[in-house]
Structure 1
Amino acid sequence: MKKIIATLFALCVMSSVQATEMAVVDFRAALLQSDAGQEAAKEPKQQIAAMDARLKKEQEALNQMAQDLKRDELTLSPDEFQKRRQALAENDNKVRSMAAAMQRQAKELEQNLIQSLTPKGEAALKSLIEERKLDLVLNRQLSLYANEKSDLTNELVARINKDK
């Protein structure tokens, strides 16, 4: 009798457990790695490179000011030394705020790029989900572990490229 009850219980449990098809994807990476993402990123990359070059030029000028001040420190009057030191501090603040502004602008450029590519990526992901009959797709960064077979990122890049 116990064996029959145990068998019935096991059958009930097995029939109530459904297999859930899951996958993970790095959606942002897929968008940026796709051909459309690479093409759309050319102009923002050029803008960021130009900003970076300008920032490096400002940092070099700041370093030169600091070296000049250090070199001339003993020959300057206290007032002149203080003025140059204050100018150095002001330029340092200017370069720091410029760097922060450039970081914000670079982040904004990337966000705009992602927004422009998202509809195409979502359509490609939706077709992959339907094709594979997936019940759940997680962001790869949120998962603790996912084996290679469950990661759809490369497949999504290929699908986005195919659906040009």
Structure 2
Amino acid sequence: MTDTSSLLAQAEAVLRRYTEAGLTLATAESCTGGLIAALLTELSGASAVVERGFVTYSNDAKTELLGVPADMIAAHGAVSREVAMAMAEGALAASRADAAVSVTGIAGPGGGSQAKPVGLVHFGFARKGRPVRHVERRFGALGRGEIRQAAVAQALEGLLHLID
């Protein structure tokens, strides 16, 4: 498993930088199931930064809570660049946050295919007034827990880049 202390250190850096910048954030999580929000809110001072979190594991939740078009999910699949970006934009629109991160992927051990293997994770990073950024990672078949932890680490890293 990923070293939890390093994830906590990353989360502390996110909270510190967002606090200094006077920014708030929202999370829109699918395969991580709320782990990003949970890690951030594990720390003192999170209430100044974490505006809200969405756990949108099902396609219906992505559509109902974040406004991701059902036809987009049907065309590209829930685990796609398009959906990750729409989730991040939707989290901004459905919150009062200044920035948002979204995560959608295949944590396994099943559910993968040749085109979309286990370990494929798409991230969306949105900040008001800026274009949405997309990051794709292929972590490989590390195991469900490891993939989810690696996705959390990537999400925290991306949130730091939104400050720049």
Same fold (TM over 0.5): no
TM range (shorter): under 0.3
Q: Which has the higher contact order (CA 8 A, sep 6+)?
A: 1
Structure with higher helix content: 1
TM-score normalised according to structure 1 size:
0.24
Larger radius of gyration: 1
